Structure 1
């Protein structure tokens, strides 16, 4: 069974002194959970005449989670007429790895941060039960199997370039550093340590709120998952908040 952590940090919550001085802060509420749910792509009503049979291909978008049971129900007038377990169709194509995700709700000025930590021992056991592997976007490092302490680092940066001051030629190295280091850090935090059993996964979630009136152009969110002191996952997300 997965170990769920849904944080509601109180430092810098909405209305606090910190939130008045910052562009972004903790919302004080739990996440919406939209990325944890599986959903039907382009859902619509299926109308059948008496005795009629229709075959239709249904596309389902899986949420960010660990391997689990997924069922699809067909209902009419509030009554379930057919229920089918489609877990095998999803889990047979998935590769169990750790990863992070971001869900932005611009209408309510909210950012939901997710992280799934899947210990390598559990991932290997899961993969052995599959006949084929899928391509994943996570970067996973090979580190000690007996290590099971994890941390999550979160950074929100502005991608707006700052004006650079030209320096004399002898300071060219300094100039190059200044031109490279143009991102402005707006929010940083580290979560953990989380000690996870080798046969258990962790799902982490945190909601942030931001001041839309102070919003400027593009932003970047970076999330890193550490196992002890080594980075096992590093993701960068370019997000539109305005």
Structure 2
């Protein structure tokens, strides 16, 4: 959405430079505020919940935005234009909660020390490759298919939700060492208390974490 905001606004009838500039400024302010809120939220409700909840919200709001654009293009409905604008704001908020604070936080937590530098390098390469795709491929699809091209991303968001649900484990409340231990790393501790202390799996059976996060960390041990 952010790459072609001007084009998307034009597709719902907001085409003047003044209106687009004003909305761009408002959206940037909303993004800043929601990103700060999401950064605090990640320590309160957990990463997995944010991924799944934000992904579901992104899916429904982007689907609704696609419908609004389609209706406006077919009928010129003012209501469809206004609803499309509202869904743009909701989508940005959902994105900021789902991905903005977690894009680098979550990989850093789950990657073991020996793979962290390589893993983050692959992550950066992947994001740049996605940016390249957005920059050079999306315009072709949007010009050729119009609003129908957005259905590609509706499907992609559904795939992301499935990946979040099936593969992402909860890491809230655990140290980096304990998370690595859950993923099969052999962690050696120098301190006697740490060496003989409880493991992640111990915490699961002692109910030190909530049921959902504990079950997913336990499952990671077998991945």
Instruction: Give TM-score, length-normalised by structure 2.
Output: 0.22
Q: Which is higher, the Rg of structure 1 or of structure 2?
A: 1
More helix per residue: 2
